[in-house]
């Protein structure tokens, strides 16, 4: 299908002769993943969620970790150039909703209705309830875009940044000889997140399928069966350690794990430490990290 760009009042002019072709992409080869990653990186530059991206990261985020099934993916092209995309990662066992990624639109192609069209086509192509990825509040127009499209705020997430820290790394990690690590992680998932047993049992398997996962970056506090999952992201410009999950009931254990993760980042010569949390960010702040932004997730009415 094709759509012709139009110019809205006050928006940058778009070439009247440009015709975009929007189509469903059925696979995620290296070339497609590279295109999606490059476009996404341009779109997040300068915002609170600006972070290193790569083709492997796109693949691991969009592919169903348990089945290997690719996403429902719409890509808009101006000739051979990808100018926009929107994808839905299929729900995994235990997930109530599928995850919407995008729409991502090249800055040069905005204000022409392309994002609305991509979103519409993807929503029409799937049958599952949907939730968006994190939408930064400081990203101009993004929240308003979903609100105008009939979506509602489901949750609020805090984004924090910090620097790697000096110190002695002494945490137990999954790279050591940890008996029944799958059972350890599954029990933590049930205890700290309340997910159903079948989903909890697949937690470590899903983490391992992420291109950013390394066993040495899964920190464990075995006396309390707590853990911290950290993921490494690198590109040619920068690198970071993302504190993706901190599962511990006691404040001192949470802060101990966060501090050890900052030391780990220094040992691995990473440029920054980032955390994304739906919980009270006080423990991260107490460990020297600063709040740099907040995000919303959105869902369609009736899908809560």
> Which residue range is the domain that position 287 belongs to?
160-296
Task: Please report whether residue 239 resides in a domain.
Answer: yes
Residue 63: predicted pLDDT: 84
Q: Are residues 103 and 172 in the same domain?
A: no
Residues 102 and 196 in one domain: no
Q: Strand, coil or helix: what is 42? A: helix
Q: Residues 80-134: pLDDT tens digits?
A: 888 999 999 998 766 788 999 999 998 888 888 899 999 999 999 999 999 998 8
Confidence of residue 1 (pLDDT cuts 50, 70, 90): very low
**Has residue 250 been placed in a domain?**
yes
* Count of domains observed in the chain: 2
Burial of 178 (0-12, 13-18, 19+ CB in 10 A): middle
Rounded CA separation 231/239 (Å): 11
Mean pLDDT calculated for residue range 132-159: 89
Dihedral, 53, 67, 65, 100 alpha carbons, nearest 10: 60
Do 185 and 285 fall within a single domain?
yes
Domain limit, last residue, from 95, 114, 133: 133
CATH number at residue 83: 3.40.630.30
pLDDT of residue 107: 84
Of the ranges 20-24, 68-72, 178-182, 248-252, the best mean pLDDT one:
248-252
Neighbours of 193 (CB within 10 A): 12
Residues 169 and 205: beta-carbon distance below 8 Å: no
Mean pLDDT value across residues 286-292: 96
């Amino acid at each position: 299908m094709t759509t012709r760009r139009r110019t809205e009042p006050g928006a940058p002019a778009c070439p009247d002769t440009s015709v975009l072709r929007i189509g469903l992409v059925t696979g995620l080869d290296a070339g497609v993943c590279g295109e999606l990653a490059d476009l996404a990186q341009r779109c997040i530059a300068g915002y609170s969620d600006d972070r290193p991206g790569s083709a492997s990261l796109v693949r691991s985020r969009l592919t169903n970790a348990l089945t290997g099934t690719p996403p429902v993916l719409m890509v808009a092209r101006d000739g051979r150039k990808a100018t926009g995309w929107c994808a839905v990662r299929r729900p995994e066992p235990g997930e109530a909703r599928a995850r919407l990624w995008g729409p991502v639109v090249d800055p040069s192609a905005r204000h022409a209705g392309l994002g609305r069209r991509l979103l519409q086509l993807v929503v029409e192509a799937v049958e599952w309830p949907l939730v968006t990825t994190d939408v930064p509040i400081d990203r101009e127009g993004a929240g308003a875009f979903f609100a105008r499209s009939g979506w509602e705020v489901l949750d609020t997430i805090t984004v924090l940044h910090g620097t790697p820290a000096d110190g002695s790394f002494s945490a137990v990690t999954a790279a050591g000889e940890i008996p029944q690590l799958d059972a350890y992680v599954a029990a933590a998932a049930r205890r700290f997140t309340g997910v159903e047993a079948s989903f909890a049992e697949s937690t470590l398997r899903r983490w391992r399928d992420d291109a950013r996962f390394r066993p040495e970056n899964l920190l464990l506090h075995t006396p309390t069966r707590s853990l911290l999952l950290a993921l490494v992201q690198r590109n040619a410009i920068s690198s970071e350690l993302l504190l993706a999950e901190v599962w511990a009931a006691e404040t001192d254990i949470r802060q101990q794990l966060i501090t050890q993760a900052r030391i780990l980042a220094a040992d691995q010569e990473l440029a920054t430490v980032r955390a994304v949390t739906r919980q009270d960010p006080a423990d991260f702040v107490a460990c020297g990290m600063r709040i740099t932004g907040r995000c919303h997730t959105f869902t369609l009415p009736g899908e809560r």
